[in-house]
Structure 1
């Protein structure tokens, strides 16, 4: 990405104080080794799209899909951990922890990149990690619902926002909700360390918002070591839908590292499965 921006003559404060800080959070990449083709794709989606947050959280998306599937007669079982898949002459045998195996005509593996390789023979992709801190406060540090970044890069945060300005339902009753996201360093991900300290996060929040954050109540911290698959150059976003005669694999690690990539991959796999089934 750096080389492509150099060739395009993209330099100065716009690059160093706006685009790089913003994209480091979007890509979960502080070194900017991401494919320029993927960066262009993301920028295009931001420019043409309309960012938003589901009122009931991202969980609303799979719940909506599940609700529609049930109207078509689909049976969905939760809290059943699949431990392995095995091709048989008549189908796929699915091993389930604490239960008898299930036999199916076909199986779609739609899990994260770190888990897919435990079920099927696919390579484990390199991933980037993110860590997000969630704070509740009586007084919002800004009236804006925009994402804030630090052009001086004087702390661990890559972005922060008053989420309750965009999605009031996310905040505790009568309070505002502020998110603060930083990159989860590779060492922290490998050794299950915590990453940046809370004191450093609060110091950086004070710098970005220009507000006293000492009385903000920490609600939780989410560490996501495999937040996004690395999108190195040259970009090869599309992987085959079918892994074997009856086993299919979907996920953003099989397309582009984004919710969009996961949806596109899932759609591609579903169409391939239906075509193979002759429906």
Structure 2
């Protein structure tokens, strides 16, 4: 049986940011992660020399129904106008990898392939059961798992989420040289945005090739197929899109927390005695929201 001061469940952006703040404050922290690598939804895979980013980055709001909070949309627009959008050279997973290194450098411990299945309170301490391993005992638990899994561990309502489907194409024939995100204002097909990723970061594709991403909305009633996507891409990019090879399709049913009106920017962090929660579903549906939520949770843990 292992003991520590704080257990952080989930090694996504929010969990790692929380663990970093706690470790830097001198707390003994253990991060347990069900997956085999850090990052949660922020993941990059290498396929035939191409770097694929998860669709969490590309979808932005994942909504074409008009039910997303106007305040949230204006907040996103302000970020794009005032900031300078970009991509890490090694893919979006470079961010959680950097956070994870800082956590371990500060004395925190990260345990991958450790799925937390249950949280109990006994004798004034928290007990986290780990599938296939012994429990971890701590004074405090921070639950920083994905929105579709959070209610499995603590007594909170399951957040509403939106799904995304992202297609990755090997474009041997170069698409137009623009690195801008392309959208179809007519909404004449399933693609909500598409971009030549390798025009922004050349290392995302092998020499002489090009990586094109296309994102569609995904729901229980909407799952675009390849012919629909290809027809729409040919309208957006031109006839050359018909010859592109599919590298992979990612279907992420819970890609983003829904941001319905009226917008509630920050939800409570403390759930019960010794139990806290963090994640973009507790703040804004963005990488920034995950970072802010993780730091808020750490501050709450450290408060007397």
Normalising by structure 2, we get a TM-score of: 0.78
TM-fit CA distance, 1:211: 3.0
Contact 1:141-1:211 within 8 A present in 2 as well? no
- Does residue 135 of the first structure (1) align with residue 135 of the second (2)? no
Partner of 2:82: 48
Change (3 A) 1:173 1:105: farther
1:215 to 234, 238, 243: 243
Equivalents in 2 of 1:149, 1:140: separation in Å?
18
RMSD of aligned Cα (Å): 1.5
- Does residue 144 of the first structure (1) align with residue 178 of the second (2)? yes
- 1:41-190 to 2 correspondences below 5 Å: 41-188=75-222
Change (3 A) 1:77 1:25: closer
2:68 to 34, 49, 53: 34
Unaligned runs of 5+ in 1: 1-23, 189-194
Change (3 A) 1:81 1:25: closer
Unaligned runs of 5+ in 2: 1-57
Equivalents in 2 of 1:37, 1:236: separation in Å?
10
Equivalents in 1 of 2:146, 2:255: separation in Å?
9
TM-fit CA distance, 1:139: 2.2
Task: Tell me the alpha carbon deviations over residues 157-185 of structure 1, each in whole angstroms, 9 at most, x when there is no partner.
Answer: 00100001112222244310000001013
Contact 2:116-2:131 within 8 A present in 1 as well? yes
Equivalents in 2 of 1:172, 1:220: separation in Å?
16
Task: Tell me the alpha carbon deviations over residues 139-170 of structure 1, each in whole angstroms, 9 at most, x when there is no partner.
Answer: 22110110000122111000100001112222
Equivalents in 1 of 2:172, 2:263: separation in Å?
45
Equivalents in 1 of 2:155, 2:203: separation in Å?
41
Give runs of ≥4 in structure 1 deviating > 3 Å: none
Which structure features the higher share of helix residues?
Answer: 1
Contact 2:173-2:240 within 8 A present in 1 as well? no
TM-fit CA distance, 1:90: 3.1
Tell me how many residue pairs correspond in the alignment.
Answer: 247
Rg larger in 1 or in 2?
A: 1
Q: Flag the structure with more relative contact order, 1 or 2, with Cα contacts below 8 A and sequence separation at least 6.
A: 2
